[in-house]
Amino acid sequence: MCSKCFYLIICVSIIINVKSQLSSDDYGDYDAQQQQIQTEPLVFFRRPQSEQVAIGSNAIFYCSSSSSPIIWFKNDVPIGAGSKHIITSQYLQILNVDENDEATYACSIRNAVEMKTASANLTILFAPRFTPLPDTYRVGLKNLSIELYCRVRGNPKPTITWHKSHITLRSSHRMRLLDDGQILRINQLRSDDAGVYTCFAENSLRRISASTDVRVEDPIPPLFSRRMSNLTTYDGASVELECTATGDPQPKIEWFRDSFPIHYSVQYILKEDGSLLLPRVATNQSGYYTCKASNYAGAEVHSFWVTVINDNQITDELIDRLVQQASIEVNRAVAETIRHLQDRRRPRTPGDLMSLMKFPKPLQLTLAKTEDIFERALDLVHRYVDNITFANEYSTNERRPSDFRPDHYLTARQLERLALVSGCVVHQLKTHCNEKCMAYRTADGTCNNLRHPFWGASLTALTRWQHAQYENGFNTPRGWNETKLYNGYVLPSAREVSARLIATKTITPDPAFSHMLMQWGQFQDHDMSLTVQATSNTRFSDSLRCISSCSFEPPCYPIRVPDDDHLRQERGSCLEFVRSAAICLSGETSFLHLPYRREQINSLTSFFDASNVYGSTVQDAWDLRERSSGKGFLRVHSTPQYPKGLLPFSTDTPVDCQRDRQASQIGCFLAGDHRVNEQVALIAMHTLWVRQHNRLAKQLSSMNPNWSDEQVYQETRKIIEAQLQIITYKHWLPYIIGDEGMNMLESYKGYSRNVNPTISNVFATAAFRFGHGLINPIFYRLNASLEPIPEGNLLLRDAFFSPWRVKEQGGIDPLLRGMFGVPAKIKLPQQILNVELTERLFHVTRAISLDLAAANIQRSRDHGLQSYRAWRKFCNLTPNDINDFEDLRNDISDQETRRTLRDVYKHVDNIDVWVGGILEDNLPGAKVGPLFRCLITKQFKALRDGDRYWHEKSGIFTPQQMSSLQKTSLAKVLCENGDRIEQIPRNVFLNAMYPRDYVPCSHIEDVDLEPWRGCCNQNMAGSNAVCNVPAILSYDPFPNYEPSRFATNARQKREIVEQNAQEKIEDETITKDDQLELEKLRQQVDEVLKKVRIINLFATFDKRLTTGTHCYDQNTRKLHKNGTKWHVHKCLVCQCKDATSLCEIIC
């Protein structure tokens, strides 16, 4: 009995052992095979054979035996059947082989006594391929080595050969083939080594090749891109000595103090960019520092003094040196910006297009640049004070650098000195206003108000209806310090607000109004305001482009992109944005020693004076006139196809209107407002009114052959101004502000010299941007039957900066029909701005476009506009006090919008004014909500009542002329000045059904010019003939100097007449002591000017945007021909060179 148990145990043990070696798929046959396993020997009927298989084919290994189930292994790892492997009792098949299948495969059989294995190799054959692809372009330096790579994989192993100009290369003393030919090293490069090198890789399956274009250049010796000036700092401060050099090869940087090499330690830290950091500088580290940059092509050294002091002493010499440094940095940044923008060899970015469109013109540039120098000098003072105070009394961080106030650290005299040396000398605004000069406006808007000659003038500050709200109280925008809390919360990114509250992919056509309603609003906006952009789109500190940095450093103020925004992957962490330029002596201090908040410049006249047709400066007006005909015409570009003329081309504009040079070589058009090329419909509107001027001028000249060119021009201009005012106030504005708004506007009661017509900051920056919500994403181009022209309609992104489409694709008629023949976009709670404006503004190939809504929000913060809630209080809107988002339900009725507002802004007082205003429900019969209606009505009332030349003012026109002007209609202007417009709706602002609501153009009454026959001779007679010379902003660093009297007797008499007739203007009083102190200071500044030669103190014209060859001098009020010289002061002589006034100190 026991022996039976013993054998049973042995049998069970054998069975378990065999089962443990089998896969689960083999268990089913196990019981039936047990006797054979015990009795039969292990025999392979067929063994696998090694295979070579092309990639992508199938491989099969045969293996069979009657003795045992077969188990397959890959590199000793068991494999089973699946999608990749088919296993039977006869073979293993591997499907669609790839490189990973290359291995040793084995089949195994076994019994209780032994195991046998048969194996074979699988080799995968594949054609050569590059890993990675060789460079297509390489640059090598003479006398150095270069390595060209040809990394290849393949089986069989490819053979690699190199060729140059069809000649096979072999290893030599200069050319070495390494790593089986995968590396070609060329030593001691020579000029003749340049050329195309081709690498061939070949095996039995295929031959491939790749080429590398090698260029050999001369090495570039070191050149310092940043240099240090002499530095004075305080004991204990952290100081970084900058020394950045370019060169090829990259230069090695070495530092010396007093000619001895500096050994780097905790006291001297060498940074990667070559700068030397002194973490806590001590007085014994004062000395003469030298930075040496060297490579094998040469070396360059730069030396400067570092003075470490132990008290906070800001001297006049320090101020002068800081101003000089500021001047160098600002001028360098401006030059770099102009160079970058004028470089047409590289693709444009949307930020470039925005910068080009808003870049300061010559006089604007001078105005803005002096302020930039002034602010940069104060920033350098800030940095100096930061260094000398934070080490001791402010070590507890009681005062952050962003809280810097210059009047806390500089005396009034020091501030005056800094302002004068910077060139920021309160503008010395000069006018020659004569009360008898009633006939015509000045080109720049000066002398409209005789008591306040610069109200409404171009190149003056936007006015404020509420004081600015800057983060530091005087010049930094809200959100500049990103950790600062407003009402307990950080302000949201402008991009986040745009994406969550403003952008929409869907639009709804307006059932009542045509797209002309939007386009007329933009055209009129360009008659009132243009905020000058900063003089540079690179940082003043180091000339790094704003698009390359996301730091808030003047003038860069980038828009943060949220982490979950899709633009984050495409563009990075920010969108480019540059601050608006400030007018001189704002944002830091006034000349009377009082803190003065930063104010932005309006480069246009404020009035409805058709400045978008005629320009806002004397130079612009002069450049736009056709001076050869003698008939008062404006310049046009006439062709047989367009006999009425297109706009003239601008030869000197830097704006790139040839975005697609394969499409056209046509450049930019020239108009009174240089944003004319922004989009094609705007070009059409400008063209329309230039033609209207020339049409009327031709009639007036024919009716009055005795009129001079000047009188024809001026009288035509008066009529055009009146027509624009009538269309805007009587035909367009009622649709914007509604009947209740028109009641608020009230009827015209006459001119008031106490009303300031200057455009307000909140109107230009927020309220009048309501029209962005009316813009269609499509610009329609329609034929006479209101069907699309063969070239089709335009996406908004394709309409930007494309004047060639006007000249080559049908002229202005299709665009004009597309404005009055197509509905506008209606603004709804969830449909504010189309994504064409928030995602593709100024779209260009391979560049991320701008976001108009985010830019509007960022601009309102840049300008220091108070919150939406504060402006509601200003307008006395109900409820009078908003404490919660639900308090807005009467004006923002959409609950989802209010919920998103709460989620984004957290606190109701954080809402930006443009956002709150644009989200308000439209009032009945209006296109705006209560806030924007209030602000627009207030501004339009001031523009009308404060304009001494308003068309309804008594004496501007005769009753007969006024009666004729009332017949003005935009429909008739379109009919008369289109190329072939024959039918039109009577009211082009309303939707009209074609052909039911269209009438022949002959049925629409036109303005009758008969009341102008033989009139108006008094406007050019007597003193009026000479006294209507426009006044210009003038920078006079020597205001007490009387120039030599070399003028004619007529000019002297004119000046006497002007002086006797000039109205007294109330000036701010300066005490005699202040005058004496100021005179002494000016004498000191004279000496400084002689030393530092800051030529940018004086008003010069930049050729970049100036047309013609003459120069206009603001002091002598004369045009000077090219090449002439004149004295502005005994120590200042100017010369006209190619339309640029170049002035130099000579004593």
Would you please indicate which residues are annotated as catalytic (active-site) residues?
A: 526
Q: Which two tokens stand for residue 1079?
A: 């005179």
- Alpha-carbon span 854 to 833, nearest angstrom: 11
Spell out the alpha helix ranges (H) of 253-347.
316-342
Assess contact for 241 and 177: CB atoms under 8 A: no
Question: What are the distances in angstroms from CA 358 to CA 59, 580, 672?
Answer: 69, 9, 14
| Backbone φ and ψ of 1071, nearest 5° | -65, 160
| Cα–Cα dist 974/984, whole Å | 8
In the 3-class helix/strand/coil scheme, how is 13-65 assigned residue by residue?
HHHHHHHHCCCHHHHHHHHHHHHHHHHCCCCEEECCCCEEEECCCCEEEECEE
CA-CA-CA-CA torsion sign (460, 462, 467, 468): negative
**Angle value at C-alpha 409, between 408 and 410, nearest 5 degrees:** 105
Cis peptide before 132 (omega within 30 of 0): yes
Are the CB atoms for 1003 and 398 separated by under 8 Å? no
Residues 567 and 561 sit within 8 Å (Cβ to Cβ) = yes
User: What tokens were used for 406?
Assistant: 């210059």
Give the span between the Cα atoms of 515 and 458, in whole angstroms. 30
Residue tagged 């999608």 (tokens):
83
Query: Which among 870, 910, 876, 908 is positioned nearest to 892, based on CA atoms?
Result: 908
The one-letter amino acid at 682: L
520 residue type, one letter: W
d(CA 586, CA 589): 6
Question: Is the preceding omega at residue 555 within 30 degrees of 0, hence cis?
Answer: yes
Cα separation, 174 vs 145, in Å, equals 9
Q: Where are the beta strands (DSSP E) in 218-297?
A: 220-226, 231-234, 239-241, 244-248, 252-257, 260-261, 269-270, 276-278, 287-295
Task: Give the C-alpha separation, 497 to 828, whole Å.
Answer: 17
> CA 230 to CA 317: how far, in whole Å?
12
Residues 6 or more apart whose CB falls under 8 angstroms from that of 129 comprise: 152, 153, 154, 208
Query: What's the DSSP call for residue 704?
Result: -
Write phi, then psi, for 560 (nearest 5 degrees). -70, 140
270 bridge partner residues = 276
**Phi and psi based region of residue 473 (left: phi greater than 0; alpha: psi -120 to 50; beta: remaining):** left
Identify the H or E element spanning 452.
Answer: none
Alpha-carbon distance of 443 to 949, in angstroms, equals: 13
Distance CA 80, CA 333 (A): 70
Instruction: Count CB-CB contacts under 10 A for residue 955.
Output: 8
Separation of alpha carbons 56 and 1057, rounded Å:
99
Find all residues with CB under 8 Å of 761, minimum gap 6, and list them. 462, 463, 464, 465, 468, 599, 600, 863, 864, 865
Euclidean distance between CA atoms 437 and 1022, whole angstroms: 10
